Amino acid sequence: MHTLSRLLEAQGQVRELQKDGLVSDYSFGEISAYIEGLIEDVYEEEKEAQKFRHQLSNA
């Protein structure tokens, strides 16, 4: 979950840059979409890892 929290932190930092006018709306949208995709990937990988750990503990 460390990776997920780092991605959420990065997403917040990009949001702050956009609010401060340092990132254009277009770039903000592109970066946000990319980070959201990474978050979804990490979340799915974590779910698979938990399922695997659960199977190992029941073996």
Calpha distance 43→26 (Å, rounded) = 26
Domain span holding position 34: 2-58
Q: What is the pLDDT of residue 4?
A: 87
- For 26-55, write each residue's pLDDT tens digit: 999 999 999 999 999 999 999 999 999 999
Q: What is the mean pLDDT of residues 10-37?
A: 96
Look at residue 18 and tell me whether its pLDDT is greater than 70: yes
DSSP 22: S
- The per-residue pLDDT for 1 is 65
Tokens 């974590």 sit on residue: 46
Specify the number of domains making up the chain: 1
